[in-house]
Amino acid sequence: MSAHRLVDYNAVLHAAVRIAPFAEVTPVLRSRALDALAGATLHFKAEHLQRGGAFKFRGACNAVWSLDDAAAARGVVTHSSGNHGAALALAARTRGIACHVVVPEGAVAAKLANIARHGATLWRCAPTTAAREAMCAQVQASTGATLVHPYADAAVIAGQGTATLELLRTAGPLDTMVVPVGGGGLASGTALALAGQAPDCALVLAEPAGAADTARSLAAGHRDVDFTPDTICDGLRAGIGVPNFALLRQAGAEVITVADAEVVAAMRLAWEILKQVIEPSSATVLAAVLQQPARFAGRRVGLVLSGGNVDLEALPWR
């Protein structure tokens, strides 16, 4: 049975209970200056302040603590460009189990350091999906570890949806929710949370123009992930996952694609005005709102700032 048949709003509620002892309840940030700039009321869910520096800890933690004792004892394995790998390493540490992370060559140095800092074993491979999956299978076969997919795993999807539950509890009713989309773990988890708690809230996905497979796929009505990503948003280069696409299509999600220049400008605004260090993938949500002000005018908008693991030696405006 496919993962999207195994995950629903109730799974998100269960995930919230499961991860409560470990995950941070991150703050919701407001800015009068950014509200004025956007012509809307913006509520920023500060997931860059989550453990591990990204929302990914939610899904990873839910996946790790969903394992039975026998499976947990054999450890977990994943492939990741950074944030999911660090999150899984940290989640594994909360349970005292081994974690293996397959990382592609060329990954952001700060993110690799984050993974290593949390005690994972790193396995390097070529920067292709095929190479990542092949190495994962090899590690899985030799260790017996459970694969925790970065975005297509049902427990990961459910865990990511908990950020929206918290945001709605703090901010109250929202007209529109804006989240970044890459592989679609956060986006599809958000869709489930909204379906159960705020069905009238529109879901808008912010996607880099250089990796706009979700926009293409939703427009076509089927997955179209044959592309080579070309974007500064390293966390959003993955193609949309199979269960993720199904959930987003079912939710009627819409996509705004943003150019890298718009992302960098929004990232800088967040640093300057919100005083928050966020990474390019996070900045897509603010870039999307600023790109189409008429679409959000006068509305109460939730935005998930997905991560803050920035390579300080390679800032985009240096």
Tell me: do 49 and 195 sit in the same domain.
yes
Q: Which of 61, 309, 283, 287 is nearest to 162 (CA)?
A: 61
Q: Is residue 315 part of a domain?
A: no
The pLDDT tens digits of the residues spanning 244-264 come to 999 999 999 999 999 999 999
The pLDDT mean for the chain works out to 94
Tell me: do 83 and 161 sit in the same domain.
no
**136 touches 77 (CB < 8 A):** yes
Q: At 189, is the pLDDT very low, low, confident or very high (cuts 50, 70, 90)?
A: very high
Sign of CA dihedral 101, 117, 17, 183: negative
Provide mean pLDDT across the span 34-57: 96
Q: What is the pLDDT of residue 4?
A: 53
Query: Which residue segment(s) compose the domain that 63 sits in?
Result: 57-153
> Between these two residues, 113 and 28, which has the higher pLDDT value?
28
Total domains in the chain come to 2
Q: What values do phi and psi take at 282, rounded to 5? A: -65, -40
Residue 207's beta-bridge partner residues? 257
Contacts of 174 (CB under 8 A, 6+ apart): 43, 167, 168, 198, 201, 300, 301, 302
Tell me: do 233 and 245 sit in the same domain.
yes
Provide mean pLDDT across the span 218-246: 93
Strands 28-29 and 41-46: antiparallel
Q: What values do phi and psi take at 254, rounded to 5? A: -115, 160
The pLDDT tens digits of the residues spanning 283-303 come to 999 999 999 999 999 999 999
Specify the CATH number for the domain of residue 271. 3.40.50.1100
Q: What is the pLDDT of residue 1?
A: 37
Q: Is residue 313 part of a domain?
A: no
Q: Lowest mean pLDDT: which of 55-59, 98-102, 126-130, 257-261?
A: 126-130
